Chain A
């Protein structure tokens, strides 16, 4: 079976994957909130740009995006390390997916809330940031949670820009030991564990938010 040394190497890769996700998930969520809000509340040109951003990042495979960031940007004078290229790619891509859920959630918030906030003297931006977005974020949790799960799984593409993450470590160890099946099953199960933890966390978050305010539950 798998020896301890090999397993430790896999755990090293796993730590890299965790770091990747830990950075890209929050940044991606912020990108998603910004783009989603821009699509709903921005002036017309900004709305178009946000829609274009969504369309491109959701229509082009993530591998291609990563290759562009890692191999093409140096030609434009911007050299990214594999880690930075991967996190930027993951953040932008998952942000594009998040933004669609955020947009849906924003549209589902009663227009009257915006008017009420404005009539209390808040600026439009304040109303968006303090009144509408907090509610929309809660509504977007199920969709964005799915996106987080996707992000965990697609973080495996970091291996394609030479980063030794869990998949990369798995590939190296499998090649060295010829135990392809066992190694990749272990690698898959480690991803599965991360996904399971994320799902538990999201379920907890949803329960908590539902309890804290009855009005924000799904209709």
Chain B
């Protein structure tokens, strides 16, 4: 209980969240209850956002090279990546969380904290999905551009860095927005390995207070708001980085 941002006394005095014993119930005030519930939920929001940021960052840092290697790597590398993809995109998130938190200790004696395990599981999972996005985006850029860049003297890496990726990453943005919303919602599974984030606070509060309805509806509202804000930001980023003319000739990734 240590470090919880509310005191039991504070509850009964201000909000009537604890209506127990023989004390007359405080006059019901939905606003006071709502504020009290949201205070607790928001105290878990920091951890949710931290987990989200770490997982997306790990996913991007690994996903970008994975996507590039999917296209340009030698075949053993591509084969290995296929295996990685298969596991990361075929196992449910919750199983990956359990594997990282409970499983790693059993084989290598690697003991991760809940947060580390959650970041590892959600991050690598996101890396597989983001790698797939980057691969698709690279394939959307006309291959002639790589030839042209090579013919004016750029190395393959140079062409990739200055010609292909700047375009490909722009094509990635809608997919990344999607990935943001998926990872955000998957952070709510981290409570199963003991990360004290928003869902975990909500679950605890729902049991300890008599306000289960309010708690679960509020937590749904907060996640919904986070999704909308994030999607709007990605949309703004998409508009902000748009290059006039680019994308008008864009083709589907499969052609």
**8 Å CB contacts to A: which residues of B160-190?**
181, 184-186, 188-189
Known contacts: A59-B223, A64-B223. The answer to whether A157 contacts B185 by CB under 8 A is: no
Question: By the criterion CB–CB under 8 Å, are A180 and B105 in contact?
Answer: yes
The interface size of chain B toward A, counting residues with CB under 8 Å, comes to 40
Does B86 sit at the interface, judged by CB under 8 A? yes
| Cα-based distance from A184 to B193 in the complex (angstroms) | 14
Interface size class, chain A: 35 or more
B-side contacts of A188, CB under 8 Å: 87, 90-92, 95-96, 99
B189 touches A59 (CB 8 A): no
Residues of A within 8 A of B228 (CB): 55, 59
Would you list which residues of chain B between 69 and 110 have a CB under 8 Å from chain A? 86-87, 90-96, 98-99, 102-107
How far, in angstroms, from A187 to B90 measured CA to CA in the complex? 11
Residues A58 and B181 in contact, CB atoms below 8 Å apart: yes
Contact B106 A178 (CB under 8 A): yes
CB-defined A-B contacts under 8 Å, sample of 18: A58-B181, A63-B188, A68-B216, A68-B220, A71-B206, A72-B212, A72-B216, A72-B217, A156-B94, A167-B98, A171-B98, A180-B105, A181-B107, A182-B106, A187-B95, A188-B99, A192-B87, A192-B90
Q: A64-B223, A181-B103 are in contact. List 7 more A-B contacts (CB 8 A).
A: A58-B181, A61-B184, A61-B188, A71-B216, A159-B94, A160-B192, A180-B102
Give the A-binding residues of B (Cβ under 8 A).
Answer: 86-87, 90-96, 98-99, 102-107, 181, 184-186, 188-189, 192, 199, 202-203, 206, 212-213, 216-217, 219-220, 223-224, 227-228, 252, 254
